[in-house]
Structure formats: structure tokens, C-alpha cells
Structure 1
Amino acid sequence: MPSLYAEIEINAPLEAVWQALIRKAEWRYWNTFLYDCDATRELAPGQEVFLSMQRLEGDEETEFQPVVTVFKPNQCLRWTSKIPGLRSEHSFELQEITPGRTRYLHRAHFSGWLTKVFLPFIRQDERQGIRRMAHQLKRYVERQAYSPHRQPRRQPWPHPRPDRY
């Protein structure tokens, strides 16, 4: 099963990293890879969420509606997205290295007969997006950890379409 992977160490408590990861309505302040298209849909097991992905900054977005399959607070978030012939699974895992230092792992696994057709065209771009998200998460959480009273950026990342909520 083909997969993509990003790992980064974040100088912040595990709980702070988890909160940034699960507050999808706030992704627009730091995340240029994944966008929340419907803030009313919570990240919870069995819940379908409506997201958009931008593999390369400035490129077309791909909307998708994955189903959350795992939600273990402060440990793991996983969702699965399916279309006929293609299944993708994204997992976001957190590991405490030491108090105040967290390892973030993002894995994407692909399966289905369309994988051989589709993945060669997106592999490099998706890998870049996953890595970009990891670095942006690190930067965002570390800024929050070192200045806890700091508010999120007032303006979200430039987004090609207006917010839907």
C-alpha cells in the first residue's frame, strides 16, 4: 500500500499540539494544506467532515468528505476518504518526547486499483503539502506556547474562495 509521511518535533506540550490539530475552524490561521469547509461538523468517530486540500500553495483545491475513524484525545486522529477505486487514509499521531516536547507524525496511505493511475500524478505535491502542514503546525504551536496570551493572526491565510461559514 503506497504511503506518504511527515514527522517533526514540536517544542510545545502535547496537549497544545492536539488542540491546534483538532480545532479545524482555526486551521485557516496557520494551515495552507487542509481547509475546513464546514465548521458545524465536528471531528468525532463516525462523523463525516467536509474538507478541502491544497497540495501546492496557489493550486486548485480538492474537496473531499472523509469519515473520522479514530479519535483518541492527545494521541491520534484518523480519517478515511473513499471514491470508487481509491481509498485514502490520513492519520495524525502525537507522541510525548519529554514534557513540553512533542513528536507529530502525519501518514497518508492509499489503496485501490486507481492508486496506480492517480498517485503518480499527486505523490510529490501531496508529500510537499503534508510536510508544509507539519512545519506550519510547528511554527503556530510554538508561537502560541511561547506567548500564551497571543491571539491568532487576525487575517487567515489567503484563500481562493470566501469562507462558507
Structure 2
Amino acid sequence: MPSLYAEIEIDAPRSVVWRALMQKENWLYWNTFLFDRTPDRPFKQGDRLLLSLKRIASEAETEVEPLITLVQPNVCLRWVYKAPGFESEHVFELQDIGRNRTKYTHRENLSGVVVRFTLPFIRQDEQEGLRRMARELKRYVEQRMT
């Protein structure tokens, strides 16, 4: 199963990073990769999100409705998007690395018959989107900590 990955260390406690991820209404201030179309609805296991995804600035947004499969406060958020022949699982993990620092990891696991045809075209842009989101989250959280 192909996987895309971004990881960054953030100078803030895990609870602060988690709060920034959970406050979807504030994503517009820092997140240029994922856009939530229902920012007033909290993350709740079993609910669907309505998201737009923008891999690169020149690209049109792609709308998806993933199912939230896990909300483990201060530790992990997971959702899955399925389409015929395609499945994308996003996993956001927070790990305490001491001294009020957090390791943020965002993985996207891809599966399905369509992946082998589409991955060569989206891999680089999708990977950059995950990395951009990690950098933006770090900047947003650390600026709010000062």
C-alpha cells in the first residue's frame, strides 16, 4: 500500500497542537492544503467531513467526504475517503517528545486499483501538500505560543 508522509517537530505541548487541529473554524488562518466546508461541526468518530483539498496553488479544489474513524484526544485523528477503486486514509498523530515539544506526523495511506494509475500524477503534489500543512501548523501554533 503506497503511503505519503510528513513529519515535523513543534515547540508546543501536544494539547496545544491538538487544539489547533480540532479548531476547524481557524484552519483558514493557517491551512492551505485542506479546507473544511463545515467548520462549525466538531470532529466526531462516525461522522462525515466535507473537505476541499488543494494540493498546489494553481490547482482547482477537490471536494471529498471522508468518514472519521478515530478521534483519540491529544494523540490521533484518522479519517478515510473511499471512491470506486480508490481509498485514502489520513492519519494525524501527535507524540510528546519532551520539554513541551510535539512530533506531528501526517500520513496518507492509499489503496485500490486506481492508485497505481493516479499515484504517478499526484504523488509529488500530494506529498508537498502534506508537508506544507505540517509547516503551516508549526508556524501557526508556535506564533500563538509567544
Q: Is 1:112 aligned to residue 112 of structure 2?
A: yes
The separation in 1 between residues aligned to 2:47 and 2:99, in whole angstroms, is: 31
**Partner in structure 2 of residue 157 of structure 1:** none
* TM-superposed deviation, 1:65: 0.3
* TM-superposed deviation, 1:108: 0.2
The separation in 2 between residues aligned to 1:72 and 1:85, in whole angstroms, is: 29
Alignment of 1:30-45 (within 5 A): 30-45=30-45
Unaligned runs of 5+ in 1: 147-165
Q: Secondary structure at the match of 1:56?
A: coil
Identity %: 53
* TM-superposed deviation, 1:120: 1.2
* TM-superposed deviation, 1:42: 2.4
Unaligned runs of 5+ in 2: none
**Partner in structure 1 of residue 14 of structure 2:** 14
Give the TM-score of the pair, scaled to structure 2: 0.97
CA deviation vs aligned residue, 1:118-150 (integer Å, no higher than 9, x gap):
11111100000000000000000000011xxxx
**Partner in structure 2 of residue 73 of structure 1:** 73
**Partner in structure 1 of residue 145 of structure 2:** 145
Q: Is 1:53 aligned to residue 15 of structure 2?
A: no
How many equivalent residue pairs? 146
Q: Secondary structure at the match of 1:45?
A: coil
The separation in 2 between residues aligned to 1:32 and 1:20, in whole angstroms, is: 14
The separation in 1 between residues aligned to 2:129 and 2:142, in whole angstroms, is: 20
- The letter of the residue matching 2:136 is Q
The separation in 1 between residues aligned to 2:125 and 2:99, in whole angstroms, is: 34
Q: Secondary structure at the match of 1:113?
A: coil
CA deviation vs aligned residue, 1:85-108 (integer Å, no higher than 9, x gap):
000000000000014100000000
Alignment of 1:124-135 (within 5 A): 124-135=124-135
- The letter of the residue matching 1:129 is G
Give the TM-score of the pair, scaled to structure 1: 0.86
* TM-superposed deviation, 1:40: 3.7
Whichever structure has more strand as a proportion of its residues is: 2
- The letter of the residue matching 2:51 is L
- The letter of the residue matching 2:70 is V
The separation in 2 between residues aligned to 1:16 and 1:94, in whole angstroms, is: 11
